[in-house]
């Protein structure tokens, strides 16, 4: 039996996968079970920032697992405190961290924190969260309720109450939605799953001003945009703002599961012993993976990401200019782009991604019309050139590029 048949017999039918089995990765490349090499321009959905099997990450994980793998959060462990200190420093100090295992868990922790803080500071009614249409925050019930994608929510209703959604990028709509029952506003600096949607200039600053004036928390979801993806450690740093709470995951462990929720001191102090917990979150191995990942990617933010981003962006703009379909666009920053193939064109993003895969390039049809590119931050300019050639050939093959 091939892996497709074997999977169908034993796994939930929750994923639709292309017919390829990856068995090995190194740097920006993957290999399938037939030995064929692929350029990975998705990076495990913006996760493998340090590249596949980076020696520093592998060594850190193996060394920590051989020393101390798990104790639970009933006891102190040094790697957890080391990582928390480093993240607090990158956030700007004056904050505390809760570690979990995933982005959805990081968002759940932020929602619980907002309700705890809201009741203590704004009254019993202040448990509400205002989020954005098109936003994605995870698939657990609380994170799903915060997500602004009705199509993936309806089958699981009723969801937890208290969530309101407004158009992304519309500060006036956000201001109108904040009321006495609001504890927090939850926003992505750039919407990833909606097709790498970048808000208008000044939007994040306006959101920060509105929330501060209303006396509610600003939670920024940096799960996909953080860890250097946009060229800064956090995407919100481009706007020069300081949120009250930030959620992280994905690239934090460069493939090893870890999530983090960072909150400024006065907000984090709303939580009490027993209010939240996790068995595996912040375990020594995950924290060692995260520390090694930081050691790899932080030096890349001193010029490398900007250089390769410029070349990737230039090449994608050239491809965009060869697309005649109405609505075609390019959005993104850093090493995170969405190439919108436009409406009613000759091929869907899924068709284009399949053609790219056949040419040895991994990209993702994040929406019906948008290809998402999020290569590891260690990608080199020669690999960018190679990826652009493969993508251009794929787009020509499906009739998107003239």
- Active centre residues (catalytic): 136, 221, 250
Q: DSSP assignment of 252-289, as one string?
A: GGTTS--EEEEEEHHHHTT--TTSS--SSTT-HHHHHH
Whether residue 46 contacts residue 192, with contact meaning beta carbons closer than 8 Å, is answered with: yes
Looking up tokens 């998705």 gives 42
SS3 93: coil
Which H/E stretch holds residue 245?
A: strand 245-248
Residue 69: strand, helix, or coil:
coil
How far apart CA 25 and CA 23 sit, in angstroms, is 7
Residues 6+ apart with CB under 8 A from 335: 229, 231, 305, 308, 309, 312, 373, 374, 375, 377, 379
Cβ count near 219 (within 10 Å): 29
Q: Cβ–Cβ contacts within 10 Å for residue 239, how many?
A: 20
Q: Write the DSSP assignment of 345-371 as a string of letters.
A: -SS-HHHHHHHHHHTTEE-EE-SSSEE
The CB density around residue 272, as the number of other CB atoms within 10 Å, is 8
| End-to-end alpha carbon distance in the chain | 41
Residues 6+ apart with CB under 8 A from 272: none
Q: Which two tokens stand for residue 310?
A: 């410029």
Angle, CA of 224, 226 and 229, to the nearest 5°: 85
What span, in angstroms and rounded, lies between the C-alpha atoms of 353 and 321?
A: 19
> What is the per-residue burial (b if ≥16 Cβ within 10 Å, else e) of 297-333?
beebbeebbeebbebbbebbeebbeebebeebebbbb
Which of 292, 230, 229, 232 is closest to 258 using CA atoms? 292
User: Strand pairing of 259-264 and 95-100?
Assistant: antiparallel
């Amino acid at each position: 039996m091939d892996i497709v048949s074997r999977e169908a017999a034993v796994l939930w039918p929750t994923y639709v996968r292309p017919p390829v089995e990856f068995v090995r990765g190194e740097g920006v490349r993957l290999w399938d079970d037939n030995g064929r090499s692929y350029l990975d321009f998705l990076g495990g959905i913006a996760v493998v920032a340090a590249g596949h099997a980076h020696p520093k990450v592998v060594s850190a994980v193996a060394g920590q697992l051989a020393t101390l793998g798990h104790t639970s959060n009933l006891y102190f462990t040094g790697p957890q405190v080391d990582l928390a200190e480093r993240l607090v420093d990158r956030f700007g100090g004056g904050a505390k961290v809760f570690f979990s295992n995933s982005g959805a868990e990081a968002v759940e922790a932020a929602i619980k924190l907002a309700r705890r803080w809201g009741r203590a500071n704004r009254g019993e009614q202040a448990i509400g969260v205002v989020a954005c249409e098109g936003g994605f925050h995870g698939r657990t019930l609380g994170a799903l309720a915060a997500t602004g994608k009705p199509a993936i929510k309806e089958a699981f209703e009723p969801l937890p109450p208290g969530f309101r959604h407004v158009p992304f990028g519309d500060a006036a709509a956000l201001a109108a939605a904040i009321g006495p029952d609001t504890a927090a506003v939850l926003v992505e600096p750039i919407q990833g799953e909606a097709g790498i949607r970048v808000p208008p200039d000044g939007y994040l600053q306006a959101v920060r001003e509105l929330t501060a004036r209303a006396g509610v928390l600003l939670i920024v979801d940096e799960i996909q945009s953080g860890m250097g993806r946009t060229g800064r450690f956090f995407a919100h740093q481009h706007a020069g703002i300081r949120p009250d709470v930030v959620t992280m995951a994905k690239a934090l462990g460069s493939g090893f599961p870890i999530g983090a929720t960072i909150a400024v001191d006065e907000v984090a102090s709303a939580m009490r012993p027993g209010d939240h917990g996790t068995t595996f979150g912040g375990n020594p191995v995950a924290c060692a993976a995260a520390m090694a990942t930081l050691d790899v990617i932080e030096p890349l933010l001193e010029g490398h990401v900007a250089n390769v981003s410029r070349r990737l962006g230039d090449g994608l703009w050239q491809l965009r200019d060869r697309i005649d379909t109405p609505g075609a666009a390019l959005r993104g920053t850093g090493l995170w782009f969405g190439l919108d193939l436009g409406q009613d064109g000759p091929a869907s993003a899924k068709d284009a991604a399949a053609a790219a895969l056949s040419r040895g390039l991994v990209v993702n049809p994040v929406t019906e019309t948008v290809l998402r590119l999020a290569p590891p931050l260690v990608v080199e300019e020669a690999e960018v050139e190679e990826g652009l050639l493969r993508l251009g050939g794929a787009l020509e093959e499906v009739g998107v590029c003239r």
